[in-house]
Amino acid sequence: MGQTLQRAAQWTTATDGHSGKLEFSSLNEDLLNTVLNFAEGPSGKSPEEGKLVFKKPLTWTTALKPSAFSGSGYIEKGTSVVSEATSPKDACPLLELSGNKLSVLSLEQAENVLRVAGDRKMVELRACLEENKDPVANMLGDRFATVDGADNSIFRYHEEITKEIELLSKQSDESEEKKRELEEKKLVLSLRLKLLRLDEHMLNASIIKITNDVRLNPKIVDGEVTVLKQVSGEDNNRYALQFINYFGENYVYQNGCRAQPWRQLNGDICYLVIKCFDVDHPLYVTANTSGYYLNKGPSKEKSGQLEYERPDSDTYRELVTMIKAKSPHFAEMISKQEIQDVFTKAGFRTGLEDCHLAHWRRHAWAHKSDRKPTKKASNIHETRSRSTKTPLAEQEDHFSESSTESEEEEEAIERRPEANADLPSEYWQIQKLVKYLKGGNQTATIIALCSLRDFNLTQETCQLAIRDVGGLEVLINLLDTDEVKCKIGALKILKEISRNTQIRRAIADLGGLQTMVKILRDQDKDLKCLAAETIANVAKFRRARRTVRQHGGIKRLVHLLDCVKLNSTVMTPEMEMSVEVARCGALALWSCSKSKKNKEAMRKAGAIPLLAKLLKSEHENMLIPVVGTLQECASEPSYGLAIRTEGMIEDLVKNLKSSNQELQMHCAAAIFKCAEEKETRDLVRQYGGLDPLVGLLSSGTDDKQLLAAATGAIWKCSISPENVQRFQELKAIDMLVGLLHNQPEEVLVNVVGALGELAKDPPNRMAIRKAGGISPLVNLLTGTNQALLVNVTRAVGQCAEEPDNMIIIDKLDGVRLLWSLLKNQNRDVQASAAWAICPCIENAKDAGEMVRSFVGGLELIVSLLKSEDKEVLAAVCAAIANIAKDEENLAVITDHGVVPMLAKLTHTTDDKLRRHLAEAIARCCNWGNNRISFGKERAVAPLVRYLKSKDENVHRSTARALFQLSKNPENCITMHEAGVVKPLIKMVGSRDEDLQESSAGCIGNIRRLALANEKARYS
Amino acid sequence: MASKHGRQAKEQAVTNLLKCTRLDREEISLLIDRFSDLCQKEEGKLHRLEFRDELNRFFNITDDILMDRVFRAFDKKSSGTLKVEDYVQGIGKFLNGTIEDHVQLCFDAYDLNNDNYISREEMFQLLKSCLVKAPTEEDPDELVKELVEIVMKKMDKDHDGRVSLPDFRAAVEEEKLMLEALGKCLPDEKCKLTFQEMLRMSGGRYSSANSVSISEQRDKNARRNQKGHQQKTMIF
């Protein structure tokens, strides 16, 4: 009965961790009844079989109370009950009920349970079956567990028993033990056979039940009507019907029914009017969920209304059967071949064929192919194939497992609509050609492939048509054959249509990438080229790129790059071909190089030296994919280094001067990404790359990508002071400032970044002002792009170093804008804004007044000391140091609790933060009893440790802070205890006068305290 | 084995053939040896059936009509048997002929009635067996006719309802794959390699009647190919 339970029974889907439940359906009810009969009744069980002890108990949660088992044979033990009968082997009770768990070890006991349960036996059985999905395995052992496919357990068991009997007969006087064991085995076998019979019986019963259960639904009706419409017309020699139409209003309700809602309550789906050639009056038919039957036709009194009564009681399962019964002409015509074809194509039974199973299978296929996304999931066919789908299909899926893949394919093709006006003519032509591809030998295949190429394959209709008629599968299958010509033809088409994103995905889904990767190793160079080009098109999305890598495609593509001499004076056709192969390989790698892991794989496969070699090429169509790949990969540090060490910078610079904008763009982008390294920047300058970069700005190009790449390269290159020099000579600033207007953000980010770097050189600050760059920069502070804001704040900050610039910034209210950026979510923006504020305060006139005018500004900046980002903290400390120069502001920030917050930060080990923190502490000491507060907050001892840092800047500001703090005697004591004197004495010897002075001052303070102390002691 | 006289004659033949093929001296010599081995029935004349065997075995050309057509294309003087010059020149075109050679050879093969045009009927004849798995509901002849029309549309450049040599040449120039659009009558690269290797290995010297040795040879070839394959895999 395992099979039935697994297959026929209707289970609910398992939820919340429990196994599924049996649905409350009539089918399940019948199954349960059969099982119940078997378990309860004597039906063929012998008493020995009833006593057979199960291998594992059947355990389930019961609703039975222990008290139910009162009486003989059972012993009560507190809340649990056990049976007196025990298993002979381990003396385990055959029945045990503890709590609500019931375990049963023999059929006899199970029978008892059911008897005890009385009218609730059904509930018990249901619970038992739900919790023991495979009861047979429990009862007779795991060897009889239900399996899919051939079940040989019985035969094996039978063999085993026969063998043992033979053995026993040979050594007849052997122990009694063996005989008993054998008896038991025989019992198991007979019980197994009986259970098997039960299983079979139930399966058969359920099939009958299922077939009876098929009810009409709107989709079936619509499908049948559509088919019958195809065989209706005026000519009675050619058509089976005169006409068939829906009767009544044309409105279709959401559930697909056409009958009025109140009639739908009766199960009516729609009404039909059918005119046969040999019946005088038209037939009026009601399509009801129970089947088709006649109605009395339009009412005479009320126009447009039907009389719903039935003139006879005949109900038909199919419309065709019904019409056949009414019209002999139809019955005759329907048997003709043409009409039969229409029906079979539509997947409908005409009633002539008896093979119901075949019909089911067809439904099951329709159902399957619907589910497979890769199989013609196009909208055009979905409607049709759905119309043939019945609820039956789902249940019958199991019975149609024998159907092979190829049959399925044919079915799917045959079900296509015959004539659909919406489709372009190309669709039909392509369908025809694909048919030749499928059914022809290699000659026909080649003709069809060549002919397919004559279509405009760049057009989406054609691309999708090929997919929709199942052409992609065939094309990809062709790649697996040995026919070089077929492969070339197929790839030529795939290469074109893979420009379409949907096709790309479909190719990847169908496993085309794996095959193409295999082809990359072929002898034929044409084939390699085409495969690589197609991969280049397909690998535009992540999954495809991963597939290429996982199947070793990267290695093979890299191998393609390895070609003979590139620019030799004499090129044989063969050499040209191998260069072409390399070009296609580079194209594919370009697509693949968008994934990080692929970049790594390429590097490992040795792509870099090969790319370096190809970079020497003179042909743009080669250079673009090569530089494109390099540019993608340059974001990886390992590539950046390799690009420099392999001497590619020179070639990149050379190609910057090319006349091809795309090539220029990729070269500039590659330099942009590589120029993070100082050596690379120097090389760019040495090879004269700065001039063409600036030249790109002045070329007045509209190509934004090119501009973005060029300005990006300028930005990174201007990190080196020598390059700044050259840019100055080239008057790059004027051009960059010109680009601050009307450019997209990706250009602006780089332009502003470049200006920020250039402005580190004082003369450039003036140049920016003179070029009118300050005001657009300040205006950009109102933007939202975070990368842009980081660069803008930096640039504004650099400009603010110049007092003249500061006047303009102040006038434009730039400081307020900077200040408000402290509220930005992005830490980089916060830090950068805080840094920019420092020079503003330094250089603004009436800075104190200005800062006070920002409502809540001081509170905001103090609160940023809670940030976790070191860079933000350092920047804020620097800003606070500047703010604290103004006494009033210092008072305000002291009120906001700046002292304990600064003191809390003193444990940091970050030198940058230490430097600015010490500076801020030094400045903040100048108010009230802040010195004492710092001491109380234990800020002094950590500061002393800063003197061990290696950074001079840290020493200077720390010494200053210590000098300030040492004006308080308590602090002096703390410092002295922390061992401040020794390092300070060393610093007095420093060359830095500032450091000398502060250190000496601090030592002086400590010394004075000591002297005063002594004085007090002796006086 | 050969007498002095025989050797001289062969030298002479090689020299002659060197002028009208793109083969080198050694290859021609090997092919001549091969030819004399193939001629079992009559010395110096290769019969149709023997030649067909050869085509089938080494060049993977299996279509009956086309095997005969290739034979005729080789048989310049229409004598019904191949002379050694015919054989060597023909195989020479097979192995490393120019595109033009191939176009001419294919056209000759497809032009069934030698009237210098490929007509619809000839195409039909050539294509009628190429639909292996014709869908049942359609007339297979109809399908072949449609196929013929497709080919016609692609090849008939001057729209006179038949394909002339210039038409055919133009179509092939446009799309290389069209060269064998009406059936396979040229060996593919792999066959060529195998054949050349076979020539070199055996010196063209084994009996075609001795099938055992052929199969052995094939096994060897197969094994060698396999080995080569493995080596390649290691390189990759």
* A454 with B134: Cβ contact below 8 A: no
Token pair of A164, please?
């043992």
Angle, CA of A970, A974 and A979, to the nearest 5°: 145
* B189 with A432: Cβ contact below 8 A: no
Q: Which residue of A has its CA nearest to B60?
A: A483
Going by C-beta distance under 8 Å and a sequence separation of 6 or more, which residues neighbour residue A187?
A: A48, A49, A52
Measured CA to CA in angstroms, residue A352 lies from A318, A335, A349, A356 at distances of: 12, 7, 7, 10
Alpha carbons A504 and A509: distance in angstroms, whole number = 9
Going by C-beta distance under 8 Å and a sequence separation of 6 or more, which residues neighbour residue A911?
A: A949, A950, A951, A953, A954
**Structure confidence at residue A750 (pLDDT):** 92
Collapsing DSSP to helix, strand or coil, B195 comes out as helix
Chain center to CA of A763: 52
* B151 with A555: Cβ contact below 8 A: no
Among A306, A297, A249, A301, smallest CA distance to A274 is for A297
Alpha carbons A786 and B38: distance in angstroms, whole number = 83
Among A732, A733, A833, A740, smallest CA distance to A779 is for A740
Q: Which residue has the tokens 């090879």?
A: A687
Q: Smallest CA–CA separation between B128 and chain A, in Å?
A: 10
Q: Which one of B184, B185, B230, B234 would you mutate to disrupt binding with A, by most A Cβ within 10 Å of its Cβ?
A: B184
The DSSP line for A794-832 is: HHHHHHTTSHHHHHHHHHTTHHHHHHHHTT-S-HHHHHH
**Structure confidence at residue A507 (pLDDT):** 92
ipTM attached to this prediction: 0.82
DSSP character for B103?
A: H
**Structure confidence at residue A915 (pLDDT):** 92
How far the first Cα of chain B sits from its last, in Å, is 46
Task: Using CB atoms within 10 Å of the CB of residue A581, give its burial: 0 to 12 exposed, 13 to 18 middle, 19+ buried.
Answer: buried
Residue A927: phi, psi to the nearest 5? Answer: -135, 130
Q: Which one of A443, A482, A519 would you mutate to disrupt binding with B, by most B Cβ within 10 Å of its Cβ?
A: A443
Task: Using CB atoms within 10 Å of the CB of residue A91, give its burial: 0 to 12 exposed, 13 to 18 middle, 19+ buried.
Answer: exposed
DSSP character for A305?
A: -
Give chain A positions within 8 Å (CB) of B184.
442-443
Q: What is the mean pLDDT of chain B?
A: 78
Alpha carbons A52 and A185: distance in angstroms, whole number = 10
Number of helices (H) and strands (E), helices first, in chain B? 11, 2
Give chain A positions within 8 Å (CB) of B178.
446, 450
Residue A60: phi, psi to the nearest 5? Answer: -150, 165
Angle, CA of A444, A450 and A453, to the nearest 5°: 140
The tens digit of pLDDT for each residue in B12-68 reads 888 888 888 888 888 888 888 888 888 888 878 888 888 888 888 888 888 888 888
Please list the rounded mean pLDDT of every run of 10 residues in chain A (1019 residues): 63 52 72 77 64 80 76 71 74 78 82 78 80 77 69 78 78 68 80 82 77 74 84 80 82 82 83 85 85 82 76 80 83 73 58 37 39 39 39 37 33 40 78 85 88 88 88 90 88 92 91 91 88 93 91 91 72 83 92 90 90 87 91 87 88 89 91 88 90 84 85 91 89 88 88 92 89 90 90 92 89 90 90 92 86 88 90 93 90 90 90 92 89 89 88 90 89 88 88 89 90 86
B189 closest CB neighbour out of A449, A521, A523: A523
Higher pLDDT, A707 or B207: A707
Is A13 an 8 Å CB contact of chain B?
no
Q: Which residue of A has its CA nearest to B154?
A: A451
Give chain B positions within 8 Å (CB) of A449.
177
Going by C-beta distance under 8 Å and a sequence separation of 6 or more, which residues neighbour residue A163?
A: none
A485 closest CB neighbour out of B146, B180, B182: B180
**Structure confidence at residue A352 (pLDDT):** 37
Please list the alpha-helical segments (H only) found in A91-134. 107-117, 121-131
Is A484 an 8 Å CB contact of chain B?
yes
* A443 with B181: Cβ contact below 8 A: yes
**Structure confidence at residue A222 (pLDDT):** 85
Token pair of A10, please?
């209707």
Give chain B positions within 8 Å (CB) of A440.
130-132, 147
Is A523 an 8 Å CB contact of chain B?
yes
**Contact at 8 Å (CB) between A558 and A606?**
yes
> A209-227 burial, b for 16+ CB within 10 Å, e for fewer?
ebeeeeebbbbbbbbbbeb
* A448 with B181: Cβ contact below 8 A: no
Is A447 an 8 Å CB contact of chain B?
yes
Q: Which residue of A has its CA nearest to B232?
A: A521
Alpha carbons A293 and A205: distance in angstroms, whole number = 28
* A559 with B236: Cβ contact below 8 A: yes
Is A441 an 8 Å CB contact of chain B?
yes
**Structure confidence at residue A534 (pLDDT):** 94
